[in-house]
Amino acid sequence: MPLTIIIGAQWGDEGKGHITDRLAQGAAVVARYSGGDNAGHTVTIGREIFKLHLIPSGIIHPGVLCLIGNGAVVNPAVLLREMDALAARGVDVGPARLKLSGGAHLITPGHIAMDRAHERERGRGAIGTTLRGIGPAYTDKARRVGLRAELLADPAALAAALAEHVAIKNDVLVKVYGEEPLDAAAIAADFAAHAARLAPHLTDGPLLLDEALRRGQTVLAEGAQGTLLDIDHGTYPFVTSSSPTAGGAMTGLGAVSYTHLTLPTSALV
């Protein structure tokens, strides 16, 4: 079957990583379609344990192409740490094996600072976020002021976008929440370094998947979290900021549709 979607039927932690690992062995592409590094999967192979937060579980299997899709939000520093940890254990995470959709949105220190400020303001009514900036990044995406991963390929555009982004976040952090301002220069320097390493991994995610499906290759769509954390269909407001359901795979990856999917063969865990 060209397209298989793995979702969780509860709040997450249903064993999706194990199922993904099993099915990835027969897939050409494994694509993550939602969430950020607040989610993730633990994969055990023999005595080896791999804890993955952003990189699709298929990365453990040589020859499987992995894509972080446009529906995900990515903290570049976290992604690079995860890549380095895997590389140190002999896993190939080079540009030929790991792709990042240019349409994915970036998480910045500004998003993390806002996440913490929002939770402190809520007090006893705090949602209980992981304080990783996931929600604020999705908020900026919906407000059409987010930073897309495609900026990593254009140093000048990235620097300009970051400068504006940090200035706006600092204005709110200082004037509304009484917090210390973020160091714009340090953030710019860090992101310039991140961009130099991640730019070779950028790709047109929808095009990549469309070409794979047209060739008849199997694409495995890897979900994060579970249905009851879906922002529309979950236990609102105690939900995540994306759609970890099968429908989320359609938008979170782009060039996949129900025409490629036979529902009875989808993996529901």
Q: Give the pLDDT confidence of 195-231 residue by residue, as tens digits.
A: 999 999 999 999 999 999 989 999 999 888 888 999 9
At residue 266, the pLDDT reads 46
Q: Is 194 a catalytic residue?
A: no
Tokens linked to 260: 């490629």
pLDDT in tens, 139-189: 999 999 999 999 999 999 999 999 999 999 999 999 999 999 999 999 999
DSSP label of 228? G
Residues 6+ away with beta carbon under 8 Å from 41: 16, 17, 20, 51, 52, 57, 222, 224
Task: Respond yes or no: is residue 13 known to be catalytic.
Answer: yes
Contact 35, 230 (CB under 8 A): no
Cα–Cα dist 149/256, whole Å = 20
| Residue of 21, 37, 41, 230 marked active site | 41
Q: Are 238 and 24 in contact (CB under 8 A)?
A: no
